Structure 1
Amino acid sequence: MKYNSVVKLIATTLVGVCLSTSVLALPETQLTKQCKPLINKNQKVPKPPIRGMTEKVHKRLTRAMELLANDQYPEGIQALKALFESSSDEYVKSVVAMNIASAYSQQSDYKSALPYFENALSFGEGQLDHDRLQGLRVNVATLMYSVGNKQKAVELINDWLAKSIKDDPKVYYLLAAMKAEASKFKEALCPAYLAVKHEDKPKKSYYNILLLSHYEQKDIIGSTSVLKEMVEVFPRENSYWRQLSSMYLQLDKTKDSLAVMEMLYLNGGFETETDYKTLSSLFAYEEVSYRSAEILEEGLNKGIVKPEERNLKAIANNYRVSKEVDKAIVAFGRTAEAADDGEHFLTQADLYVEREKWTDAIKSLNKALKKGVEDTGRVYYTRGTAQANLGQCKSAMDSLENATKYKTWRSRANAWIAYVKDKQQRNKCSS
């Protein structure tokens, strides 16, 4: 059987899924069903008093910002620092500190930026509007985390959650990433799920943490559900197809695993030897032997699959099982050339015998003898019978007499010797 109709049907279904333009279905698992909102959208947000700056302060701030705009960072930062130190107004100190931190950040000097972000947040409480303070909390948390103060970073994100009235997938992802890095996958899962849920444009990084959080909790069924969504959302990400196929194997769903790998193959996603070997093995397991051989041979011909004995043997055996004798003959010959012994030449000879191609069988048997085989008596016996069928009686007698030296083949060889002698007596030999 060259193709499995059930597998083809599943693969076709997957094609439809991948080309679907339906609304994205958020992956729901037993673990994500337990996720609850992390924010309270109904809480009241405090409104800070309307604040302003004196004309003198405004001029100094404007001058400093002009220096920064002209890429005069040292001068601009120095002017802002002087303004920060000289002011006693918390609103002014918060705004100025924020600009200093921003200036350092633009130069990628995050270590210097961090204390000013902290100052902006500290002085800004009760002075700045809610959204601005929330943005500061995220900035400070991110920088805290980058310099190694991870506990403080998590505390700031939790503070953001406690005071937020709006879902922000970036913040959810940030919290999930922090938890995942600390190997707290149970705590990472729900923030990752909410990040995926509230992001308008799907992001691989969000899905990756959601997947990892399931897998590290040994939720293979949940991991599979997430990956099914990932291959739909990111159909060109070949690694997701491979992972999904692997998940199905862990669930003993071999046909689904095969269908996924074949879908990757049909989409032109095969890049490695493992890809070809995996699909070939899956076809072999499902007893689609011809396709198994064909896939692995394609990888071999493309130079992706190594011409090693075990790969060549797999191709040959699967052609043989699928009754493609002519292809198997060629494949076993190729396998025999790569092998250290002559066993595969002997198998090739057996296939020639099936086809009654006696001359070709003899050539293969001679090669088997030259390279060496475990059962030498079998080679002499098979060669003797092939020579006898060609009427080469003298050569047949020599081969069969050699076969009698091996106990396993003695009686059969003697029977053929009698047959050859009879042919000689009746002048039925060509030589």
Structure 2
Amino acid sequence: MKYSAKFAALLLTSVIGMSSVSSDAFAYAQDNSERKTYTLSERVGKKVAKIYDLYAADQIDEAITLALEIKPKKPYDKAYMAKFLGSMYAGQKGKGLEAIKYLQASVDADILSTNEHGNAIRTLADLQVQEKLFKDAIKNYRLWMDFTGKEDPKVYIRIGVAYMELKEYNNVIAPADKAIELQKAKPDDAPYRLKLGAYYESQQPKKAIGVLEIMVGLFPAEAKYWAQLGQFYMLDEQYEKALETMHIAYINGYLTTKSQILVLAQLYTNNMIPYRAAVVLEKHMKSGLIPRDERMLKLIAASWHQAKETKRAIKYYGEAAAIENNGELYYKQGTLSFELEKHKDAIKALKLALEDKKLRKPDNAMFTLAQAYFYNGQYKTAHRTMKSMQNAKTRSVAKNAKIWVKYIEDTAKRRKVKI
């Protein structure tokens, strides 16, 4: 909430523009019969006219210097000049605290007209938010409402923002609700965002969900709210609703980030729809939204594997394995190839897997490799490999290897193959 020079000029207009200039002084037109009328003294009035001319000519430093040279004595002159200086400083970079000092003096004097006094209070509160003086800002926003008898949804929103900054999350809800109540035309999402933030920070996911459900109804074209609702359903372990919401968001083109697509894929998987998870991940990898790295390729492979699309799983396990020569992924590629009776492919993948010294189950990989050799008609190699597994550290592998050695020998003999 930074005040530009242009906006500060508008503030100055509100200071001066409400007054009528006579040859003697600025005479203030009283707008409230119950508030006593005051006018600027002749000396101050003349100088104020010169100050405004300087400011209007963008000679801001000169205008402030001239204003500071005035040493008003009468209470009204003091209050008027304090507001004038506060309004000018509000447009100066790094002069927020200086502006607050003068505006506070003007407000404390409580002598300006109803409109001018109310204007000073609200500007003061705005500046206090800007300078992170949130407690003071809340007090003055409430003072502005008490003094003017007005209720402005924007003011309630700023009070809510101040409470958020103070981490007083329970105090955010009431002003946010009041702002919502006062909205007469097109609804604004700001107070709903405040409530959402407060409930999130205070770890009340169910209430946050309630707010988001309203938000997607009021602002259906706002993509971010659909994604957030889906993610909050996940946090609350409402996985079916999470999937329903994210699926609707996806088909409407609202999911546009890597994290959103990964959440959707996870939801498909968690809800036993791995085929859709794989399709979505594959599509967005090809588009470039999702990186083609080992993690993503492995995730796609696992999704195709769960979906019983074994050929596709084999392809992606192999691509993932090749990036970092990952033996575990080559092992998965090899075992799946073996299951599909793609024995040459299995042999190739399993040999690559065994090159990885960090492979967790090398005995199992070697055993499957020996079987693949056998079914590929390589009896001699199968026999030699399986015999080496009779002394494997894994007892079940060693036991089965002994059975297989005899089986390979019998088969080779029957087929008259020398091993």
Same fold (TM over 0.5): yes
Contact 2:370–2:385 (8 Å) recurs in 1: yes
Deviation string, structure 1 residues 179-238 (Cα, Å, up to 9, x no partner): 222222222221122234435565565433222222344332221122234455666766
Partner of 1:212: 197
**Are 1:66 and 2:57 counterparts?**
no
User: 2:118 corresponds to which letter in structure 1?
Assistant: Q
In the alignment, the residues of structure 2 paired with residue 308 and residue 230 of structure 1 have an alpha-carbon distance, to the nearest angstrom, of: 36
1:167 pairs with 145, 151, 159, which one?
151
C-alpha displacement at 1:79, in angstroms? 4.4
Partner of 1:327: 312
Partner of 2:373: 387
Partner of 1:251: 236
Contact 1:362–1:386 (8 Å) recurs in 2: yes
Partner of 1:35: none
Check 1:73–1:319 CA distance in 2 against 1; reply closer, same or farther (3 A cut).
closer
**Are 1:271 and 2:253 counterparts?**
no
1:396 pairs with 370, 382, 396, which one?
382
C-alpha displacement at 1:302, in angstroms? 4.9
User: 2:211 corresponds to which letter in structure 1?
Assistant: V
**Are 1:118 and 2:104 counterparts?**
yes
User: Normalized against structure 1, the TM-score is what?
Assistant: 0.75
Partner of 2:396: 408
In the alignment, the residues of structure 1 paired with residue 399 and residue 100 of structure 2 have an alpha-carbon distance, to the nearest angstrom, of: 92
In the alignment, the residues of structure 1 paired with residue 401 and residue 55 of structure 2 have an alpha-carbon distance, to the nearest angstrom, of: 99
Check 1:335–1:428 CA distance in 2 against 1; reply closer, same or farther (3 A cut).
farther
User: 1:190 corresponds to which letter in structure 2?
Assistant: A
Q: Which moved more, 1:170-179 or 1:292-301?
A: 292-301
Check 1:259–1:430 CA distance in 2 against 1; reply closer, same or farther (3 A cut).
farther
Partner of 2:268: 283
The SS at the match of 2:172 is helix
In the alignment, the residues of structure 1 paired with residue 360 and residue 133 of structure 2 have an alpha-carbon distance, to the nearest angstrom, of: 67
Partner of 1:26: none
Contact 2:44–2:72 (8 Å) recurs in 1: no
Count of matched residue positions in the alignment of Structure 1 and Structure 2: 382
The SS at the match of 1:166 is coil
Check 1:89–1:182 CA distance in 2 against 1; reply closer, same or farther (3 A cut).
closer
User: 2:396 corresponds to which letter in structure 1?
Assistant: T
C-alpha displacement at 1:307, in angstroms? 5.5
In the alignment, the residues of structure 1 paired with residue 82 and residue 412 of structure 2 have an alpha-carbon distance, to the nearest angstrom, of: 111
1:350 pairs with 322, 335, 344, which one?
335
Check 1:209–1:376 CA distance in 2 against 1; reply closer, same or farther (3 A cut).
closer
Q: Which moved more, 1:225-234 or 1:320-329?
A: 225-234
Contact 2:134–2:166 (8 Å) recurs in 1: no
The SS at the match of 2:267 is helix
The SS at the match of 2:334 is helix
In the alignment, the residues of structure 2 paired with residue 271 and residue 89 of structure 1 have an alpha-carbon distance, to the nearest angstrom, of: 60
User: 2:387 corresponds to which letter in structure 1?
Assistant: E
Check 1:193–1:384 CA distance in 2 against 1; reply closer, same or farther (3 A cut).
same
The SS at the match of 1:85 is coil
The SS at the match of 2:151 is coil
User: 1:138 corresponds to which letter in structure 2?
Assistant: R
Contact 1:84–1:96 (8 Å) recurs in 2: no
Contact 2:157–2:175 (8 Å) recurs in 1: yes
Deviation string, structure 1 residues 218-266 (Cα, Å, up to 9, x no partner): 3322211222344556667665444322321232210222233344444
CA RMSD across the alignment: 3.5
Runs (5+) with no aligned partner, structure 1: 1-44
C-alpha displacement at 1:59, in angstroms? 4.4
Contact 1:121–1:137 (8 Å) recurs in 2: yes
In the alignment, the residues of structure 1 paired with residue 97 and residue 379 of structure 2 have an alpha-carbon distance, to the nearest angstrom, of: 93
In the alignment, the residues of structure 1 paired with residue 404 and residue 38 of structure 2 have an alpha-carbon distance, to the nearest angstrom, of: 113
Partner of 2:92: 107
In the alignment, the residues of structure 1 paired with residue 91 and residue 58 of structure 2 have an alpha-carbon distance, to the nearest angstrom, of: 10
Contact 1:61–1:83 (8 Å) recurs in 2: no
C-alpha displacement at 1:103, in angstroms? 2.2
Identity of aligned residues (%): 25
Partner of 1:34: none
Contact 2:226–2:254 (8 Å) recurs in 1: no
Check 1:53–1:182 CA distance in 2 against 1; reply closer, same or farther (3 A cut).
closer
Partner of 2:170: 186
In the alignment, the residues of structure 1 paired with residue 380 and residue 68 of structure 2 have an alpha-carbon distance, to the nearest angstrom, of: 108
User: 2:333 corresponds to which letter in structure 1?
Assistant: Q
In the alignment, the residues of structure 2 paired with residue 226 and residue 241 of structure 1 have an alpha-carbon distance, to the nearest angstrom, of: 12
Contact 1:352–1:361 (8 Å) recurs in 2: yes
The SS at the match of 1:404 is helix
The SS at the match of 2:121 is helix
Runs (5+) with no aligned partner, structure 2: 1-31
Contact 2:160–2:176 (8 Å) recurs in 1: yes
1:318 pairs with 303, 328, 343, which one?
303
Contact 2:327–2:354 (8 Å) recurs in 1: yes
Partner of 1:36: none
The SS at the match of 2:113 is coil
Check 1:389–1:237 CA distance in 2 against 1; reply closer, same or farther (3 A cut).
same
In the alignment, the residues of structure 2 paired with residue 386 and residue 78 of structure 1 have an alpha-carbon distance, to the nearest angstrom, of: 92
Partner of 1:136: 120
Deviation string, structure 1 residues 63-82 (Cα, Å, up to 9, x no partner): 33222212233443454455
User: 1:174 corresponds to which letter in structure 2?
Assistant: R
